[in-house]
Structure 1
Amino acid sequence: MSLDFSKMDVSSRPKLFDFHGVAMIPIFTANWENVQNFQARPDDILIATYPKAGTTWVSQILDLLYFGKTSPERLTSLPIYERVPFLEMTIPNLVSGKDQADKLPTTPRLIKSHFPVQFVPKSFWEQNCRMIYVARNAKDNMVSYYHFDCMNNVQPAAGDWNSFFQRFMEGDMVFGSWYDHVTNWWKKTQTHSNIHYMFYEDMIEDTGREIEKLCSFIGLSPSAEEKEMIRTGVQFDNMKKNKMANYSTLPVMDFKVSPFMRKGKVGDWKNYFTVAQNEEFDADYKRKMKDPALHFRCEL
């Protein structure tokens, strides 16, 4: 099922437009009706995040937990974007994440999405599918997203850091406002028990502990040896070197500008935010983040 991106024109960067109140670009809306009519199965697992919040990390962990023992060849022959399709991505005449998900031979099917919660196809709710949401603190998420927009030719151009900083605060990003995204998924956990809400910072702090929690949520009980093998396999430096996980096989990403997996640190924002920007951001954050139960750590 190898994807050939060589025929794709990456010379012109897409422009954002308003789509049902969320900033989007055409490759995530072009197949809207088909995506909305996606037929989820009860054992499907949806991995949802705001962009650059640990999607690939959790996808790789889940793939190892489910198929590391039974189909180890998958991990060395198929890149992560084929093992865990990106549901809403549609590049006309080339690839549709929805079609990839339909054709997945695995049980369960692991499916990735950056959709805000209100865009998730209704069959996922009707089938009571398990969903894993990963959230990352806004400051590091912003820095990571900035570098991603610099190197990914199918994303809008990042522009300079100062203008990107303002756009991020305004929610003028693909998939909309970080604040809305993390908050609305958090609210959904109050009414939908099949969502496991994870924090990127917790995973950095103790990957083993977070893998334990994931296993408990999905009902798997691997041996201590298997868990340790997965924990070491998904450490950032190992993932960054892994061609089947690091997106280096995807030509739309310009690794000469930045690797897809850059640092994977908590607190890297300090290398980018000026003192004035940090003060401005903190004041804005205070206004927008109203739920005291949703707490992020910007340093460990």
Structure 2
Amino acid sequence: MARLDDTETFHNIKFPGHMHTQDSLNYAANFKFQDTDTVIVTYPKSGTTWMQEIITLVLNKGDPALARSQPNWSRAPWLEQYYCPQILQASTGPRIITTHLPYHVLAPALRDSKAKVIYVARNPKDVAVSYYHFHKMANFLPDPGTFSEFLSDFLKGTVHYGSWFDHVKGWTGHAQNFQKFLYIAYEEMWQDLRGSLEKVSRFLQCSLTEEELKSAQKYCSFNSMKDNIMVNYTLIPREIMDHSKGKFMRKGKIGDWKNMFTEEQSDVFDAVYSARMADSSLLMGIL
């Protein structure tokens, strides 16, 4: 399924047609969750791959065998992408499901479920920079133009997958509606990976021994994931994701936006952030 130049619009949000169809998006919106499901929810470029790896390693007691032998999109498929039903039909045991869908689309399906929801958020300035670079190497996303042009679209919420502000506020603002909901920041994972692993293991009620924790920490470090072909997307054909134009796992650092933003761009971003997040208690450390 190529459809590299196609775009699907669903609930007024644009999705790349390469992996999404109207049928797949409707499938996600009406999905029957199981109480044993663990759902990773993120806006793109916010730590999705990292959390997929963390959960895989926690549930496997630090054993990297699965994480290094099965692609992450097979271990934790994206619910809204067309291949998901086939993966889930073949799965056994508790399922890990990934989604970039906004709260208002997926909430009805999750409303009566006891599925565990883990929401990962990242400083939106770093998200914008990472997302811009991703557009340059992902041939299923439109040409981002200049960074200034892309940043303008990002702030307006007209990029693929919609508004960062709406996504984060939608999920974190309704956390009380879920029986089992964990919020974790990308910055927290970067600054205290061990503590983040412990937090996730407690949430999943899967305790780790000291040795299991050390192993999990080793194999979900950025450098380990960057070299793992089951995670770094080098298995994807070049015509779909061109690694000669950039790396899927580029830097992973926090605060890299400072190397990209002008002072004026930062000031404009801060003003939009203050206005859009005024009714949210979520602080991302950019102001």
Query: Residue 129 of structure 1 corresponds to which residue in structure 2?
Result: 115
198 and 232 in structure 1: CA distance in 2 versus 1, 3 angstrom threshold: same
What is the TM-score with the length of structure 1 in the denominator? 0.88
The one-character-per-residue Cα deviations of 1:231-252 (angstroms, maximum 9, x if unpaired) are 1211111110111111111122
Looking at structure 2, the residues matched to 20 and 255 of structure 1 have their Cα atoms a distance apart, in angstroms, of 32
Matched, 1:88 2:80: yes
Matched, 1:104 2:104: no
Aligned residue for 1:34, secondary structure, equals helix
Question: Are the structure 2 counterparts of residues 186 and 217 from structure 1 closer, same or farther at C-alpha, using a change threshold of 3 Å?
Answer: same
Matching residue of 1:229: 215
| Matching residue of 1:78 | 70
1:52-100: CA deviations, max 9, x gaps? 0001101011011113567x5422321111111111112xxxxx22332
1:202 positional shift? 0.6
Aligned to 1:75, the other structure's residue is in SS state coil
Give per-residue Cα distances to partners, 1:122-144, cap 9 Å, x unaligned.
44332220010100011000001
Residues 160-171 of structure 1 correspond to what in structure 2 (within 5 A)?
160-171=146-157
Aligned counterparts, 1:23-172, within 5 A: 23-26=14-17, 27-31=19-23, 32-67=25-60, 73-90=65-82, 96-105=83-92, 107-120=93-106, 122-172=108-158
- Which of 257, 260, 270 is the equivalent residue of 1:282? 270
Q: How does 1:6-25 map to 2 (within 5 A)?
A: 8=2, 10=4, 13-15=5-7, 17=9, 19-25=10-16
Count residues in correspondence: 283
CA contact (8 A) 1:46 1:130 kept: yes
What secondary structure is seen at the aligned counterpart in 1 of 2:153? helix
The aligned counterpart of 1:241 is 227
Provide the rounded CA distance (Å) in 1 between the counterparts of 2:68 and 2:15: 33
Amino acid across the alignment from 1:8: A
Cα distance in 1 for residues equivalent to 2:257 and 2:185: 17
**2:189 aligned residue:** 203
Q: Is the 8 A contact 2:155 2:269 kept in 1?
A: yes
Q: Does the 8 Å CA contact 1:85/1:112 hold for their aligned counterparts?
A: yes
Q: What's the secondary structure of 1:226's corresponding residue?
A: helix
1:284 deviates by: 1.2
Cα distance, 1:121 vs structure 2? 6.4
Letter in 2 for 1:153: N
Q: Deviations over 1:220-268 (max 9, x none)?
A: 1110111111112111111101111111111221111111100001110
Deviation of 1:298 (Å): 4.1
Asked if the contact 1:38–1:121 (Cα under 8 Å) also holds between the matched residues in 2, the reply is: no
Q: Which runs of 5+ in 1 are unaligned?
A: 1-6, 91-95
Contact 2:61 2:213 in 1 (8 A): no
Moved more, 200-209 or 151-160: 151-160
**Range moving further from structure 2, 289-298 or 245-254:** 289-298
What residue identity is the alignment partner of 2:13? V
Measured in 2, the distance between the counterparts of 1:213 and 1:258 equals 32
Query: Equivalents in 1 of 2:283, 2:193: separation in Å?
Result: 19
Q: Is the Cα–Cα contact under 8 Å of residues 27 and 80 in structure 2 kept in the other structure?
A: no
Contact kept? 1:246, 1:261, Cα under 8 Å: yes
Taking structure 1 as reference, are residues 232 and 69 closer, same or farther at Cα in structure 2, changes over 3 Å only? Answer: closer
Q: 2 CA distance for matches of 1:73 and 1:152?
A: 28
RMSD: 2.0
Q: Distance in 2 between matches of 1:87 and 1:140?
A: 25
Shift of 1:116: 0.5
Residue type of the partner of 1:33?
N
Counterpart code for 2:50: W
Matched letter for residue 158 of structure 2: D
Between stretches 185-194 and 202-211, larger displacement belongs to: 185-194
Instruction: Give yes or no for contact 2:270–2:286 (8 Å, CA) kept in 1.
Output: no
